[in-house]
A and B are shown apart, each in its own frame.
Chain A
Amino acid sequence: EPEVTQTPSHQVTQMGQEVILRCVPISNHLYFYWYRQILGQKVEFLVSFYNNEISEKSEIFDDQFSVERPDGSNFTLKIRSTKLEDSAMYFCASSEAPRSGAQHFGDGTRLSIL
């Protein structure tokens, strides 16, 4: 069964550094998402992406964050200048269609900011 894959599984970064989290969505999916889960809290929506542009974003997704689909397979989340409170599990998801298709999630990247 096709999967969403995320790399790395764990990223440790110094505060203030830039970090890029990578995702390979399922190949025939057209809609892509990033979510995050701070330890012990709920999974929160960050951003959705379709047709090479952001479709929706939450208030969490401020100017420090950006997303990109640099080629036909990868979907990346960049955090420009990381803060301690960015420490969380980041999940990528993809779906065939936004409302009728289920979202398929990757295993997540655990981001630890020191």
Chain B
Amino acid sequence: GNSVTQMEGPVTLSEEAFLTINCTYTATGYPSLFWYVQYPGEGLQLLLKATKADDKGSNKGFEATYRKETTSFHLEKGSVQVSDSAVYFCALRGGGSQGNLIFGKGTKLSVKP
């Protein structure tokens, strides 16, 4: 079945450091891929998405490229800020008729000033 695996956290970085959070997936067919972010005390917010191979999703300085050959969708940001501290979830939407999301376990990011 469909599944998502993302790197274990927590990840602690200094401000302006480079961020990579790895995400790989297993899916039949052609899934859509997403990164969601959860700030403390809040719900899940869509950060970016990609719907087909080689698409790059980007938002707020974050990027992720849909790599079908490596079944990956790694999240990157060139220079993190303290305000980026949150939990990041990789997710896929596969062949389900109503498009339910399958999430990874989440990676907690803490950025220190």
Among listed B15-23, B63-71, B76-84, B90-98, interface-contacting one = B90-98
State how many angstroms separate the Cβ of B46 from the closest Cβ of chain A.
Answer: 5
Q: How far is the CA of A48 from the CA of B97 in the complex (A)?
A: 10
Q: How far is the CA of A102 from the CA of B101 in the complex (A)?
A: 10
Chain A stretch 52-108: residues in CB contact (< 8 A) with chain B = 55-56, 58, 91, 93, 95, 98-100, 102-108
The secondary structure that dominates the A interface is: strand
State how many angstroms separate the Cβ of B5 from the closest Cβ of chain A.
Answer: 10
State how many angstroms separate the Cβ of A77 from the closest Cβ of chain B.
Answer: 15
Contact in complex: B105, A41 (CB < 8 Å): yes
Q: Which range contains the number of B residues in contact with the other chain?
A: 20 to 34
Contact in complex: B46, A102 (CB < 8 Å): yes
Tell whether A31 pairs with B34 under 8 Å between CB atoms, given A41-B105, A44-B103, A105-B45: no
Query: For the complex, is B89 an interface residue (Cβ under 8 Å from A)?
Result: yes
Query: For the complex, is B113 an interface residue (Cβ under 8 Å from A)?
Result: no
Cβ–Cβ < 8 Å partners of A103 in chain B: 46, 99, 101
Contact in complex: B98, A48 (CB < 8 Å): yes
Contact in complex: A102, B34 (CB < 8 Å): yes
Q: How far is the CA of A99 from the CA of B49 in the complex (A)?
A: 12
State how many angstroms separate the Cβ of B83 from the closest Cβ of chain A.
Answer: 18
Cβ–Cβ < 8 Å partners of B104 in chain A: 42
Cβ–Cβ < 8 Å partners of A55 in chain B: 97-98
Q: How far is the CA of A56 from the CA of B103 in the complex (A)?
A: 17
Q: How far is the CA of A50 from the CA of B96 in the complex (A)?
A: 13
Supply 16 further A-B pairs (C-beta < 8 A) apart from A31-B99, A48-B98, A55-B97.
A4-B43, A31-B98, A33-B100, A33-B101, A43-B91, A43-B106, A48-B100, A58-B100, A91-B43, A99-B93, A102-B46, A103-B46, A105-B43, A105-B44, A105-B45, A106-B43
**Chain B residues within 8 Å of A, Cβ to Cβ:** 32, 34, 36, 41-46, 49, 51, 89, 91, 93, 96-106
**Chain A residues within 8 Å of B, Cβ to Cβ:** 4, 6, 31, 33, 35, 41-45, 48, 50, 55-56, 58, 91, 93, 95, 98-100, 102-108
What would 7 A/B residue contacts be, using CB atoms closer than 8 Å?
A: A35-B101, A35-B103, A43-B89, A45-B100, A48-B96, A58-B100, A93-B101
